[in-house]
Amino acid sequence: MIDLKIKVTGKVQGVWFRARTKEEADKLSLNGFVKNLDDGSVYLEVSGEPGKEYKLVQWLPNGSELSEVEQVCIKKNNITYKDGFVIKR
């Protein structure tokens, strides 16, 4: 199991980025959450199998159809999530 903290910057709010991220995480059976931050970025914490997590990480720069991702910052996390993937408001 790998646990990651990820911050995505660029045009990622108001463009269905969180919803598409949840869809991708659900397809990959990942756990955790995604939420908007006050600075205009999107933050997520993800737990899952290494291969599946890296597929999500590879997907993030493409994001939703309307997003324009500038940067994806990834750090290891020491919290493991086990109850699905949710969008936090």
Out of 31, 36, 62, 77, which one is annotated catalytic? 36
CA angle (1, 47, 58) in 5-degree steps = 100
26 and 3 Cβ atoms separated by less than 8 Å: no
Asked if 89 is an active-site residue, the reply is no
Strand partners for 58: none
Structure tokens, 11: 């045009």
* Catalytic position from the list 18, 20, 62, 89: 18
36 is catalytic: yes
* Catalytic annotation, residues: 18, 36
